[in-house]
Amino acid sequence: MKNKKGRASFLKNKKEKRSFLKNKKVDAGFLKNKKALVGAGIEWIVVTPVIIFILVIFLVFGFVLFQADKLTGGGEIQLTGRPEIAQNFESAELFEAYLNSPVEFDGETIKMKRAFVLYLDGFFNVKSNIGMSLAEYGKTNYYTFNNLGEIIYERSTELAGEGFDGDDLKKLSDKRDILISDSREIFNSLCNKYYLQAPFGTISENEFLPDGMDEFPGGKVPVFADVDVLSKDFDPVLFMESPYKGETIEFKYRQLRKC
C-alpha cells in the first residue's frame, strides 16, 4: 500500500515537472517574442528618420526642378539649325545664348525662348465676341507666326469691328514691346548693326521693320536676302527653326561683319 502511494506521489511530481517545463518553454517563447518586438521597435526608431530625410530630399529636389522649369519649362522654343549655315558656329552660339537669356515676363523671370511661346499662346487665348481666336483671324488674313504681332498694328480698326477686346490686344502689344526691348538690349551691347527676325517681327538696332526691308543706297532691300549690298558687309544669315502648334517658326539673324 505504501509503495502504491509512493508511486502515485512520483507520478504526481512527474506531471508537475512536465507542467513546469512546459510553462518554462512558454515563458521562454514569450521573452523571445518580446525581444523581437523590442528589436523591431528599435529598428523603426532608426529607420523612420532616414525615410523622412529621403522624403525631404525628394521634396526639395522636386521644388528645385519646378523652379528650373520656369526658366527651361515645358513648351519652349526648340531650335534646329539648317545644314547650309552649320559652319556659322559663332553666330549660332550667339543666337542660342540670346534665346536662353532671362527676361521679366508676366511677372516671372523666364528664358526668352519660353517667353516667345507664352507670347504666341496669347493669340490663341484672345478671342472675339463670336469665339474666333486672334490666331485664327490672322491665319485667315494670311499672317504667319513670324509676323502675327503686326496684325495688332496694321488692323487695329478691323479687329475692334470684329469684336476683339481692346484691352486684350493692348496686353499682347505690351508683351511684344517687352520682347523687342529686351532683344535690343542684348544685341545692341554686342553689335551696332544687325537684323533679327523673331515671332515679334523683324527689327534692327533701332528700328522695327514691318516689311523685313531696310533702306540702302539704291532703295529698299530685304535684309535677309543674299544680295551684294548686304553680303559684302554682313555675315551670312543664320536660320533657325522651331515647331509650334503644328507649324514652323523661323528665326533669322545677321550682323555686320566687323562687329
**Residue range(s) defining the domain that contains residue 125:** 72-255
Phi, psi of 65, deg, nearest 5? -65, -40
Query: Do 124 and 178 belong together in one domain?
Result: yes
Chain centroid, CA 110 distance in Å: 9
SS (H, E, C) 142-187: CCCCCCCCHHHHHCHHHHHHCCCCHHHHHHHHHHHHHHHHHHHHHH
Query: Do 76 and 65 belong together in one domain?
Result: no
Query: Do 86 and 62 belong together in one domain?
Result: no
Query: Do 243 and 180 belong together in one domain?
Result: yes
CA-based end-to-end distance of the chain: 130
Query: Do 167 and 250 belong together in one domain?
Result: yes
Query: Do 170 and 93 belong together in one domain?
Result: yes
If pLDDT is split at 50, 70 and 90, which confidence band does 151 have?
confident
Among residues 41, 71, 101, the one where a domain terminates is: 71
| Cβ pair 255, 191 in contact under 8 A | yes
Angle between the N-to-C axes of helices 89-99 and 166-188, in degrees from 0 to 180, rounded to the nearest 10: 140
Residue 235: closest CA among 257, 203, 209: 257
Joined grid coordinates for residue 179? 520682347
* Number of domains the chain is built from: 2
- Angle at alpha carbon of residue 87, lines to 85 and 89, rounded to 5°: 100
Residue 184 confidence (pLDDT): 94
Query: Do 111 and 66 belong together in one domain?
Result: no
The model's pLDDT over 160-209, given as tens digits with 9 standing for 90+, comes to 888 999 899 999 999 999 999 999 999 998 889 999 998 888 999 999 89
Percent of the chain with pLDDT over 90: 24
Query: Do 81 and 138 belong together in one domain?
Result: yes
| C-alpha span between 84 and 238 (Å, rounded) | 9
Among residues 23, 39, 71, the one where a domain terminates is: 71
| Cβ pair 235, 173 in contact under 8 A | no
Average pLDDT of 221-249?
Answer: 85
The model's pLDDT over 14-32, given as tens digits with 9 standing for 90+, comes to 455 455 444 544 444 544 5
Average pLDDT of 233-243?
Answer: 83
Angle between the N-to-C axes of helices 112-125 and 89-99, in degrees from 0 to 180, rounded to the nearest 10: 60
Joined grid coordinates for residue 42? 528599435
Q: What is the DSSP letter of 212?
A: S
Residue 49 confidence (pLDDT): 57
Among residues 31, 53, 71, the one where a domain terminates is: 71
Whether residue 38 is predicted with pLDDT greater than 70 in this model: the reply is no
| C-alpha span between 109 and 118 (Å, rounded) | 13
Query: Do 139 and 223 belong together in one domain?
Result: yes
Q: Which amino acid is at 5?
A: K
Quickly count: other Cβ atoms within 10 Å of residue 92's Cβ: 17
Joined grid coordinates for residue 39? 528589436
Query: Do 65 and 106 belong together in one domain?
Result: no
Whether residue 85 is predicted with pLDDT greater than 50 in this model: the reply is no
Place of cell 523571445: 32
| Cβ pair 242, 77 in contact under 8 A | yes
Query: Do 19 and 91 belong together in one domain?
Result: no
CA dihedral defined by 149, 77, 181, 85, rounded to 10 degrees? -100
Residue 240 parent element (H or E): strand 238-244
Query: Do 54 and 89 belong together in one domain?
Result: no
Strand, coil or helix: what is 75? coil
If pLDDT is split at 50, 70 and 90, which confidence band does 121 have?
very high
Whether residue 71 is predicted with pLDDT greater than 50 in this model: the reply is no
Please, what is the average pLDDT of the chain? Answer: 74
Residue 133 confidence (pLDDT): 92
Q: Which amino acid is at 75?
A: G
Strand, coil or helix: what is 38? helix
